[in-house]
């Protein structure tokens, strides 16, 4: 077997992942379908617009059944939908002690999930929350503004300066590889999660995201997740992102801090009448 | 800029000929033309700072005078540095007024101390005597009768209210900044994380405010404002270009977030004009017939900042809110015990 055939086999393996995760690229003999996106003023693919994931990855990145919600009063509207996972191979390669912590997190998610407290959601979770986000693209910087909690990040396309501190949303540096925007995200703290199933990371997290237009209204979103403190090897998620095509579509403010004040500080409220 | 392609040069030439036709007053000063974004509009992108020390309203001592002479400016700088040297606290107050009155600033919290000046940046200063450019006297216009009545009661909450002595029955009694909700928009406060980043595409301009990672998304594609049903802490912004000036009109403010204690009827009109490589003139008009007898305008000079914005995760580490509320409960308990004892 020569090197050329080996390369072909590797491409095929990548295009048809074992877990059957959607690839976003109609493959004919392993070749990705070529789609050339409309161009921005600087000649790069134009990713401007409002995008949203439509899946249940925010509940659980892996395949999961529907289950009742934790708040009785919410009944069916508070129940958790089942869903097909977004992880390649449908397995997150935890180290044994980390797998135990994930299990604990999942069992106690309501009090541990940082999203419940309206904390900044981190990356990649911000991408697949049940909220839209908007890309504002210029040649030097790409702003990604998320509806949830007014979270945002600026992908710097020119600077290679390192972050002086750890952050919730990471430190994003981007470049173009053909049709794909590649974003290298580092300098995370250890306080965000990947989903409400308790999937977590340490401050050694490193995420490489790839945004590839596959039609005028679809992006293929891929993220490779690496954290040697928690996982035995890098792993990958992928999902389509859909353009919000409504003519009036826009982000509507969701500043959730005021919605969690009673939860977080209610016990410190002044009691009257007793 | 290292890369100058032929296409870029052509764009610059086209843009220059376009800006020559722009209405007078919108182009840069002394024939200076703003650099171009890739789509040919004036390039406002980058990180900008508002660290000006100029007071919002013109101090009484400068009545009738809109600019200082060079000698007066030098004297003012000396007086200000004396105020800084004497103060232990961070100076959030109007340091120019203090310098004019040669007075020592009182501590914000004399019991435990407060942020010290380490937390504040070096401030910029220029010849102007007030940020308010209209009315020409440099003062916020008189309140309407309705607004005077309204302010007699306690029907609003502004970012700057509260302080250690303020009410703390629950979190909603505290200022919006303390609650980590917002510092408001447009954010006009200077000298404390007063940094902005502008990212522009042909159809949208994003304006990031560093404080509490607020983002304002400004569509510039002719889209209509949101209906009045939707109220937002940062308002709802729509933009358009007038020559080289980006004009942003905002409405739909939520009742408690409104700048300068206006009402939900407030409309703000911002005009961003890049007047030199290092400055954007940022004019903001506040128009609320339910609050002021006429609209008024202030102008902030945004200065180009070489550093990046950093993440301002406020709520995630808000240790002061539980501290403030718990402190208030302890005080109440002590007061109740005292009154019980004296009743016995």
The 8-class DSSP code of residue B257 comes to: T
**Contact between A164 and B310 using a beta-carbon 8 Å cutoff:** yes
Length in residues, chain A: 274
Q: Three-state secondary structure along chain A?
A: CCHHHHHHHHHHHHHCCCCCCCCCCCCECCECCCCCCCECCCCCECCCEEEECCCCCCCCCCCECCECCCCHHHHHHHCECCECCCEHHHCCCECHHHHHHHHHHHHCHHHHCHHHHCCCCCCCHHHHCCCCEEEEECCCEEEEEECECCCEEEEECCCCCCCCCCECCCEEEEEEECCEEEEEEECECCCCECCCCCCECCCCCEEEEEEEEEECCEEEEEEEEECCCCECCCEEEEEEEEECCCCCCCCCCECCHHHHHHHHHHHHCCCCCC
* pTM score above 0.90: no
CB B153 within 8 A of CB B265: no
Of A251, A252, A261, the CB nearest to B171: A261
Q: List, in order, residues 6 or more apart from B292 with CB less than 8 Å away.
A: B140, B141, B142, B143, B144, B147, B262, B286
CA closest to B182 among chain A residues: A255
And the tokens for A130? 């049940």
Q: Is residue A97 part of a domain?
A: yes
- Alpha-carbon span A168 to A187, nearest angstrom: 9
And the tokens for B104? 């020592």
Of B10, B235, B3, B276, which is closest to residue A139 (Cα–Cα)? B3
And the tokens for B65? 């005078």
Of B180, B234, B332, the CB nearest to A257: B180
CA closest to A248 among chain B residues: B223
For residue A255, give how far its alpha carbon lies from the nearest alpha carbon of chain B (Å). Answer: 7
**B170 and chain A: CB distance < 8 Å anywhere?**
yes
pLDDT at B82: 78
Strand partners, B246: B241, B272
pLDDT at B34: 94
CA closest to B173 among chain A residues: A269
Of B310, B316, B325, the CB nearest to A119: B316
Domains in chain A, number: 1
For residue A189, give how far its alpha carbon lies from the nearest alpha carbon of chain B (Å). Answer: 12
Pairing of strands B279-287, B267-276: antiparallel
Could you say which residues from 196 to 225 on chain B have a Cβ atom under 8 Å away from some Cβ of chain A? 197, 199-206, 208, 212-215, 217, 219, 223
- Alpha-carbon span B171 to B176, nearest angstrom: 9
Chain A residues close to B312, C-beta within 8 Å:
none
Give the number of A-B residue pairs with CB atoms closer than 8 Å: 123
**B179 and chain A: CB distance < 8 Å anywhere?**
yes
And the tokens for B215? 């983002």
pLDDT at A30: 43
And the tokens for B236? 């709802």
For residue A150, give how far its alpha carbon lies from the nearest alpha carbon of chain B (Å). Answer: 6
Of A186, A141, A193, which is closest to residue A167 (Cα–Cα)? A186
For chain A, give the longest Cα–Cα distance: 84
CA closest to A249 among chain B residues: B223
Of B208, B250, B1, which is closest to residue A142 (Cα–Cα)? B208
H or E element that contains B46: strand B46-49
Q: What is the CATH number of the domain that holds A77?
A: 2.40.128.20
Q: Is residue A76 part of a domain?
A: yes
Burial of B331 from C-beta contacts in 10 A (0-12 / 13-18 / 19+): exposed
Residue from A49, A149, A152, A254 whose CB has the most chain B CBs within 10 Å, to mutate: A152
Q: Is residue A272 part of a domain?
A: no
For residue B330, give Cα distances in angstroms to A57, B221, B335, B337, B338: 44, 54, 9, 11, 12
For residue A93, give Cα distances in angstroms to A200, A234, B120, B137: 12, 8, 46, 68
Length in residues, chain B: 344
Count of H-run helices and E-run strands, chain A:
4, 9
What's the pLDDT band for B118 if we cut at 50, 70, 90?
low
Q: Find the domain containing A194 and state its range.
A: 44-246
* Per-residue pLDDT tens over the stretch B75-114: 888 888 877 776 655 555 677 887 788 766 555 555 555 5
H or E element that contains B271: strand B267-276
Q: Is residue A116 part of a domain?
A: yes
* Per-residue pLDDT tens over the stretch B196-252: 999 999 999 999 999 999 999 999 999 999 999 999 999 999 999 999 999 999 999
Q: Is residue A241 part of a domain?
A: yes
Chain B residues close to A248, C-beta within 8 Å:
223
**Contact between B206 and A258 using a beta-carbon 8 Å cutoff:** no
Of B195, B212, B196, which is closest to residue A257 (Cα–Cα)? B212
Chain A residues close to B214, C-beta within 8 Å:
150
| Local confidence pLDDT in tens for the 274 residues of chain A | 344 444 444 444 444 444 445 555 444 444 456 899 999 999 999 999 999 999 999 999 999 999 999 999 999 999 999 999 999 999 999 999 999 999 999 999 999 999 999 999 999 999 999 999 999 999 999 999 999 999 999 999 998 888 889 999 999 999 999 999 999 999 999 999 999 999 999 999 999 999 999 999 999 999 999 999 999 999 999 999 999 999 999 999 999 999 999 999 999 999 876 4
Residue from B4, B184, B215 whose CB has the most chain A CBs within 10 Å, to mutate: B215
* Per-residue pLDDT tens over the stretch A109-162: 999 999 999 999 999 999 999 999 999 999 999 999 999 999 999 999 998 888
* Per-residue pLDDT tens over the stretch A38-65: 999 999 999 999 999 999 999 999 999 9
Q: Is residue A7 part of a domain?
A: no
Chain B residues close to A152, C-beta within 8 Å:
208, 213, 215
How would DSSP label each residue in B101-165?
A: TT-PPPPS-TTT---BGGGSPPPB--SBS-SEEESTTSSPPPBPHHHHHHHHTT----TT---TT
For residue B133, give how far its alpha carbon lies from the nearest alpha carbon of chain A (Å). Answer: 32
- Alpha-carbon span B287 to B271, nearest angstrom: 14
Strand partners, A219: A213, A241
Q: List, in order, residues 6 or more apart from A128 with CB less than 8 Å away.
A: A53, A55, A57, A58, A86, A221, A239
Q: Is residue A176 part of a domain?
A: yes
Q: Kindly report the backbone phi and psi dihedral angles of residue A220, in degrees, each rounded to the nearest multiple of 5, phi listed first.
A: -90, 125
For residue B77, give how far its alpha carbon lies from the nearest alpha carbon of chain A (Å). Answer: 33
What are A's interface residues with B at a Cβ cutoff of 8 A? 40-42, 48, 118-120, 134, 136-143, 145, 150-152, 154, 156, 159, 161, 164-165, 167-169, 191, 248, 250-253, 255, 257-258, 261, 264-265, 268-270
pLDDT at B123: 79
**Contact between A138 and B45 using a beta-carbon 8 Å cutoff:** yes
**Contact between A40 and B38 using a beta-carbon 8 Å cutoff:** yes
Calculate mean pLDDT across residues B153-177: 67
**Contact between A138 and B181 using a beta-carbon 8 Å cutoff:** no
ipTM of the complex: 0.88
And the tokens for A119? 């904390």
And the tokens for B219? 């569509």
Q: Is residue A55 part of a domain?
A: yes
């Amino acid at each position: 077997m020569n090197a050329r055939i080996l390369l072909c086999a590797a491409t095929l393996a990548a295009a048809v992942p074992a877990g059957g995760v959607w690839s976003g690229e109609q493959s004919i003999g392993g070749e990705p379908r070529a789609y050339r996106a409309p161009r921005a003023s600087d000649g790069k693919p134009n990713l401007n617009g409002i995008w949203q994931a439509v899946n249940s990855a925010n509940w659980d990145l892996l395949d999961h059944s529907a289950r009742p919600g934790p708040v009785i009063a919410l009944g069916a509207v508070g129940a958790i939908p089942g869903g097909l996972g977004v992880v390649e191979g449908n397995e997150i390669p935890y180290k044994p002690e980390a797998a135990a912590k994930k299990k604990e997190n999942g069992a106690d998610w309501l009090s541990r999930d940082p999203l419940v407290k309206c904390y900044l959601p981190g990356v990649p979770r911000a991408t697949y929350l049940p909220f839209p986000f908007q890309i504002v693209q210029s040649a030097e910087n790409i702003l990604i503004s998320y509806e949830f909690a007014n979270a945002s990040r600026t992908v710097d396309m020119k600077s290679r300066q390192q972050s002086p501190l750890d952050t919730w949303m990471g430190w994003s540096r981007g470049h173009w590889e053909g049709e794909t925007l590649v974003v290298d995200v580092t300098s995370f703290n250890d306080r965000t999660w990947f989903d409400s199933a308790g999937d977590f990371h340490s401050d050694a997290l490193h995420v490489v995201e790839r945004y590839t237009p596959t039609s005028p209204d679809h992006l293929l979103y891929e993220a490779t997740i690496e954290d040697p403190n928690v996982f035995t090897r890098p792993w990958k998620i992928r999902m389509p992102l859909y353009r919000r095509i409504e003519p009036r579509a826009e982000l509507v403010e969701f500043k959730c801090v005021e919605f969690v004040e009673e939860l977080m500080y209610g016990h410190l409220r002044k009691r009257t009448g007793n | 800029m290292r890369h100058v392609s032929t296409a870029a040069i052509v764009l610059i030439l086209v843009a220059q000929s376009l800006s020559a036709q722009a209405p007078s007053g919108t182009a840069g000063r002394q024939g200076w033309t703003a650099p171009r974004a890739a789509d040919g509009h004036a390039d406002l992108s980058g990180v900008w700072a508002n660290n000006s020390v100029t007071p919002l309203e013109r101090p009484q001592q400068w009545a009738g005078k809109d600019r200082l002479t060079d000698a007066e400016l030098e004297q003012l700088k000396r007086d200000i540095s004396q105020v800084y040297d004497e103060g232990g606290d961070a100076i959030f107050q109007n340091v120019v007024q203090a310098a004019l009155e040669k007075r020592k600033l009182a501590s914000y919290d004399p019991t435990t101390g407060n942020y010290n000046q380490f937390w504040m940046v070096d401030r910029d200063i220029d010849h102007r005597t007030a940020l308010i450019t209209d009315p020409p006297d440099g003062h916020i216009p008189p309140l309407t009768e309705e607004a005077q009545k309204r302010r007699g009661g306690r029907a609003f909450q502004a970012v700057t209210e509260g302080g250690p002595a303020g009410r703390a029955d629950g979190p909603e009694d505290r200022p919006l900044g303390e609650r980590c909700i917002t510092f408001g928009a447009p954010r006009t406060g200077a000298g404390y994380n007063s940094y902005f980043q502008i990212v522009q595409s042909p159809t949208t301009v994003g304006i990031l405010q560093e404080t509490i990672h607020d983002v304002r998304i400004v569509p510039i594609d002719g889209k209509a404002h949101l209906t009045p049903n939707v109220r937002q802490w940062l308002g709802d912004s729509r933009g358009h270009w007038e020559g080289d000036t980006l004009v942003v009109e905002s409405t739909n403010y939520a009742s408690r977030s409104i700048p300068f204690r206006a009402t939900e009827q407030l409309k703000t009109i911002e005009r961003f004009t890049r007047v030199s490589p290092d400055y954007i003139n940022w004019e903001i008009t506040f128009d609320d017939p339910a609050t002021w007898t006429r609209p008024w305008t202030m102008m902030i000079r945004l200065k180009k900042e070489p550093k990046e914005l950093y993440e301002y995760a406020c709520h995630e580490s808000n240790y002061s809110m539980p501290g403030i509320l718990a402190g208030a409960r302890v005080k109440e308990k002590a007061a109740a015990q005292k009154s019980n004892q004296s009743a016995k």
